[in-house]
Amino acid sequence: MTRHSACATKGSDMVWQGNYTRLFIDGRWEKPASDDKIRVISPFTEQIVAEVPAATKADVDRAVAAARNAFDNGPWPQLSLTERIDVLNRVSAKLGEQQELLARIVSDEMGCPISLSRTMQSAGAKALLDSFIDLAPQVEWSTIRRSSTGTGLVTREPVGVVAAVVPWNAPMLVTMLKLAPALLSGCTAILKTSPEAPLDSYLFAEMLESAGLPPGVLSVLPADREVSEYLVTHRDVDKVSFTGSTAAGRRVAALCGQDLRRVTLELGGKSAAVILEDADLDLAVAQIRKLSLRNTGQACSNKTRVVVARSREAELLDRLTAMVESMPVGDPADDATEVGPLVAARQRDMVERYIEIGRGEGAKVVIGGGRPAGLDRGWFVEPTIFSEVQPNMRIAQEEIFGPVLSVLSFGDDDEAVAIANNSEFGLNGSVFTADDERALAVARRIRTGTVELNGHVVGFHSPIGGFKASGIGREAGIEGFEAYVELKSYGLPPALANSLG
């Protein structure tokens, strides 16, 4: 081979070994158009983990041309769904074999605590792929509709060449959200990875290569923002699926709008966990631990606004303080670590600015607010809880993307709902109460794409996505296929309609 693997096994340990020197384009490991490199920096050691080629516009042209040819002239769109499922089943098996390695790679490149990498980044990616494989036969790919005005054959056909742009915080999970339905639908794709976390995608490309994916169906390009913009505006790209910040999503939407290019956006959030006066606080705090500070706060669906009944506020603050005190902060490779470093120095700087903004607005730091003692390297910020937060404060309105929670109080259900909805975002949320029917009634009034009742998550067979500035479209579930198909209608002669069923 003309490339070097970025990781290898040594005994029972995974270790880094060299750097990638090639790009995966058109089913082959190709020499990049330039010698420019992306340095992948460990958020924990602040040292270079590996280097990969930085894709250029010329590399984008090659990758898009390969995808265009594979879609227009190649076998992939013409294969039966069963044949495409067979290939993706082989990929799933390889994901199962490489789960620990994949988890280690993601932890090394972006700092996710290894226990979470194993569940969310690695096992979660496989489970998501398996979910799409299970759901694909349930999609109404073709149906005949008869009426007094005519007989139509209505089909769902692949949208074409897809540019899938994924973030650094959950790179393989989001990759699967996009590529699994796209490939199962018969699309071809270019996966554009973030500069911070490109290494897992190389392992994934190896899996696809060995699983027998035809040439041109997928290319993998690590690239910066300028090259990303070139990709999403490329004339031969039919569909863009982007996950990232709302600011970047607005830019992508504007660029795609110029050419009426189809686009799906999964963007930011400032989700609320609503804790009613009769809630089980043990349950609520356990869920906040898992789903508010998850991935060191670097998850768009985290519940970073904790909206609690005024009568329970003091008790909750005591419990949240104890919770933070019990959460180990440190090396993401340590199984005990619950809070790791932030992905980059710039991210830590931004989180620290927001902590100072919160103080300046009059909110009170209950715990945290600085850098952890004893950690002299790595981009760490202490998990931080703010009290006395007012709904319109910046720390309650803007996505911080770090381990910072704002606690707001309310008097009745109407005020709780008003606070939860007082946001430009509408991605996720939670309601906690002893009364399940009351939980659902309150959840129905919250303007978000997903609401979890008493900690119960929706699972991969349900769609996810945002209201308002949290995005356009839905991913996951059977609805996740809709982003990658076009509806087409054929007027049928009666005899042909009868022969088709």
Active site residues per annotation: 266, 300
- 328 and 253, same structural domain? no
Model confidence pLDDT, tens digit, residues 28-70: 999 999 999 999 999 999 999 999 999 999 999 999 999 999 9
- 232 and 99, same structural domain? yes
**197 in a structural domain:** yes
- 300 and 260, same structural domain? no
Residue 452 has pLDDT above 70, yes or no: yes
pLDDT of residue 97: 96
- 209 and 352, same structural domain? no
pLDDT of residue 86: 98
Model confidence pLDDT, tens digit, residues 175-221: 999 999 999 999 999 999 999 999 999 999 999 999 999 999 999 99
**45 in a structural domain:** no
State how many domains the chain has: 2
- In DSSP notation, 216-239 reads TSEEEEE--HHHHHHHHT-TT--E
Average pLDDT, the chain: 95
Residue 10 has pLDDT above 70, yes or no: no
- 59 and 123, same structural domain? yes
Could you tell me the pLDDT band of residue 20, with boundaries at 50, 70 and 90?
confident
CA separation for the pair 288, 292 (Å, rounded): 5
Could you tell me the pLDDT band of residue 292, with boundaries at 50, 70 and 90?
very high
- 393 and 347, same structural domain? yes
**49 in a structural domain:** no
> Mean pLDDT across the stretch 137-157?
97
- 302 and 208, same structural domain? no
> Mean pLDDT across the stretch 379-392?
98
Residue 290 has pLDDT above 80, yes or no: yes
> Mean pLDDT across the stretch 223-230?
96
**In the sheet where 150-158 sits, what is the strand order?**
142-147, 150-158, 485-491
- 387 and 448, same structural domain? yes
**396 in a structural domain:** yes
- 400 and 375, same structural domain? yes
- 331 and 480, same structural domain? no
Could you tell me the pLDDT band of residue 1, with boundaries at 50, 70 and 90?
very low
- 212 and 310, same structural domain? no
Residue 361 has pLDDT above 60, yes or no: yes
Q: Find the domain containing 455 and state its range.
A: 272-459
Could you tell me the pLDDT band of residue 501, with boundaries at 50, 70 and 90?
confident
pLDDT of residue 282: 97
**339 in a structural domain:** yes
Share of the chain above pLDDT 90, in %: 96
The CATH number assigned to the domain holding 243 equals 3.40.605.10
Q: Cα torsion at 228, 474, 459, 396 (round to 10°)?
A: 80
Residue 12 has pLDDT above 50, yes or no: no
> Mean pLDDT across the stretch 346-369?
98
**Beta strand segments in 329-453, E:** 364-367, 384-387, 404-410, 425-426, 429-432, 452-453
**229 in a structural domain:** yes
**481 in a structural domain:** yes
> Mean pLDDT across the stretch 383-394?
98
The CATH number assigned to the domain holding 438 equals 3.40.309.10
Model confidence pLDDT, tens digit, residues 92-138: 999 999 999 999 999 999 999 999 999 999 999 999 999 999 999 99
**125 in a structural domain:** yes
pLDDT of residue 144: 96
pLDDT of residue 4: 38
Residue 311 has pLDDT above 70, yes or no: yes
- Dihedrals φ, ψ of 259, to 5°? -110, 10
- 256 and 120, same structural domain? yes
